[in-house]
Structure 1
Amino acid sequence: MASSTPQLVDRAQIRRSLDNFTAFWLRRVESWRERNETATEKKYAQQFWSELFNCFGVNAARMDLFEQDARRGSTGSSGYIDLFWPGVVIGEAKSLGVNLDIAHAQARDYLAGGTVSDFEMPRYILCSNFESIRLSKLGDPETRFDITFSLSELPDYIDQLRFLAGFEAVTKEEEEEASIQASKLMADLFTAMAGDDVDEAVGDEAPTDPEEEDNRTQQTSMYLTRLLFLLFGDDAGLWEQDLFYRFVLEETTAGNLGAQLNSLFEVLNTPENRRQRLPEHLAKFPYVNGSIFADQMRTEYFDPD
């Protein structure tokens, strides 16, 4: 992808892109009607989603947002979600003329199936049958909405769709819930790395001397501190927006995650004028002085070797 996450495209640029998108797809829909073409969902849905998301600076194909395996809440049977961006939006497409209530109910059925975890729950449901679009914001009753509009009206709903480009106010309640979920994730990650048998004292009884602390606990704590710093850097503008997020999404797999993180830590600990022949995805990270990345630890839980 040119970019795997929103690049904060300005409003005027989004509007121009939406105007072009709408004009193109209106012509295509008209040609389908003239030819009496059916089964448009299977043939064109991913292109439709991709081009719509591109208007907001998001490359859905490279983000691997299409056809995510999921289980239906109503039947327990397996299927796949047409479009799924964890924590952001779930999308369902139907062929031209199909009632969008069907698509909306299907999206909710997948959300109720247990496959989507709490921290992956999207804030929006987006449905389309090419000629109409239905957008629902979930969550807080005071801010949620459910609107349906025609394809020709799409550019008029730029404000409701700008969440795709990263422009969205977050309520205090949503921030608190996100913090709780993040804390749970970090606790689960600590347990997964350090093991269930870690039994360190806490509070006033916690060790203050690193030598008194279990080595595995030390290593785990340092790894989590580094990861938290990188997540903070993405949020606080210490470097290009979502640079670490894109690094994990695009450059790592289950098999190479440890090696890639170790490489990144080394880069962060190396001044720019001492770096040589780095790939672009690493070269964009700045030097971080201090000691947080100075002691390179290749821990067994992340290093596949």
Structure 2
Amino acid sequence: MPLSWNEIKSRALVFSRTWADAANEDSQGKPFWIDFFEIFGITDKRVATFEHAVKKLPGLKAKTDGFVDLFWPGMLLVEQKSRGKNLDVALTQALSYFPGITERDLPQLVIVCDFARFRVHRLTTNETFEFALKDLHKHIKLFGFVAGYKVQT
């Protein structure tokens, strides 16, 4: 049974405070996302993999192999950057992985993040949401699928 929204929001506030000073992708990226999934009462091992190998579009920095920072097939692709890095560049990088992902595994959401800011792209509706880490609790329902909640239209 999923956690209640009140519990998830409370955990999101704790998460935001815990990670307020995070800055380094290499040393803090994985722990950040492991803790993110714990907001919803699940472990990353149940749903996602880190450093998922894919073929990229040719011509991007002359590399055809790449590694998705976090990948949940059919649901989520995350490109994590160090604090202050350009999220537009991160999005371009994230989208360059799509040719190497099978059709059935293409994500519904792409998240680019520099610890301080989240930019969430909902591919099914072409919507983009951007917010600060400190405001994660206000936007937590964007990630309801992690806890098993379904969007009703």
Structure 2 length as normaliser, TM-score? 0.90
Instruction: After TM superposition, list the pairs within 5 Å mapping 1:34-53 onto structure 2.
Output: 40-53=24-37
Percent of pairs with identical residues: 29
Q: Runs of at least 4 residues of structure 1 off by over 2 A?
A: 61-64, 168-171
2:84 is matched with 97
1:132 is matched with 117
2:50 is matched with 66
1:295 is matched with none
Instruction: After TM superposition, list the pairs within 5 Å mapping 1:220-239 onto structure 2.
Output: none
- Which of 1 and 2 has greater Rg? 1
Kept in 2: contact 1:89–1:123 (CA 8 A):
yes
* Residue identity in the other structure for 2:77: I
Q: CA deviation at 1:148?
A: 1.1
Structure with larger RCO (C-alpha < 8 A, sep 6+): 2
Structure 2 Cα separation of the partners of residues 148 and 9 of structure 1 = 24
Structure showing the higher helix proportion among its residues: 1
**Structure 2: gaps (5+ residues):** none
1:162 is matched with 144
Q: CA deviation at 1:167?
A: 1.3
Structure 2 Cα separation of the partners of residues 131 and 87 of structure 1 = 26
Does residue 19 of structure 1 match 2:17?
no
Structure 1 length as normaliser, TM-score? 0.47
Kindly provide the CA deviation profile for residues 80-124 of structure 1, in whole angstroms up to 9, marking residues without a partner as x. 10000001000000011101111111111101x2x2111101100
Structure 2 Cα separation of the partners of residues 70 and 170 of structure 1 = 32
Does residue 57 of structure 1 match 2:57?
no
Does residue 88 of structure 1 match 2:71?
no
Does residue 151 of structure 1 match 2:133?
yes
Aligned length: 150
1:122 is matched with 107
Q: CA deviation at 1:63?
A: 4.3
